[in-house]
Amino acid sequence: MNYRNTKNGYGLVARVLHWGMALAIFGMFALGYWMMTLTYVSPYYKSAPDLHRSIGLVLLALLLFRFVWKLFNKAPDTSDLTPLEHKGSSLLHWGFYALLLTVMIVGYFISTLDGRSISVFGLFDVPSVYTQKGMEKLAGKLHWILAYLTIALAALHAGAALWHHFIKKDNVLKRMLKDQT
């Protein structure tokens, strides 16, 4: 079992980060969507956003770790991709990192622009680093738009992976599914 990437496939760390974060991000989207339906009298009116914020900050830490891991681990060989596919894949992946980072930072600002900190699962607080009261609603709208863009980009990413697997019949998806030593 390889923890690091090899020429033939992604290592265990990259695969766990990829699939774990993918599940968590879809779960966060669903949680956020559900939270929009809650009313003030709902028993989850406060706890659902607390959970969403806590998971979001954990995902931010994982995203930063994933970025560092990617910088210090060579990607598997992509010689089976055409130059256009390679460029598209690179743009999509770096676009994902930028989009996810932006979604998470804007989400952080939704809760901290009024000067309050965010409690992460009641274990510790992440303080506000910038205050500008009245901008929370704008940050919320931006967060929502970026969340939808994230899901759209994820659908494009999944569609491309499935196209590679079922139409091109190459190893693109297999590299992220199992150890390819």
pLDDT digits (tens, 9 = 90+) for 32-74: 999 999 999 999 999 999 999 999 999 999 999 999 999 999 9
- pLDDT the model gives residue 16: 97
Q: Is the pLDDT of residue 181 over 70?
A: no
Is 7 part of any domain? no
Per residue in 119-158, pLDDT (tens digit) is 999 999 999 999 999 999 999 999 999 999 999 999 999 9
Q: pTM of this prediction?
A: 0.93
Quote the mean pLDDT of the chain.
95
Q: Of 150, 170, 120, 110, which is closest to residue 21 (Cα–Cα)?
A: 150
Q: Are strands 118-120 and 124-126 parallel, antiparallel or unpaired?
A: antiparallel
94 found inside a domain: yes
The pLDDT of 17-32, averaged and rounded, is 98
At residue 179, the pLDDT reads 81
Q: How many domains does the chain have?
A: 1
Q: For residue 149, is it within any domain?
A: yes
Mention every residue, 6+ apart, whose C-beta is less than 8 A from residue 119.
50, 53, 54, 125
Cα(172)–Cα(180) distance, integer angstroms: 11
What was the pLDDT predicted at 178?
86
Give the confidence band of 2 by pLDDT, cuts at 50, 70, 90.
very high
Structural domain of 42: 12-177
6 domain-assigned: no
106 occurs within a structural domain:
yes
pLDDT at 1: 85
Q: Can you list the alpha helix ranges (DSSP code H) found in 36-82? A: 47-72
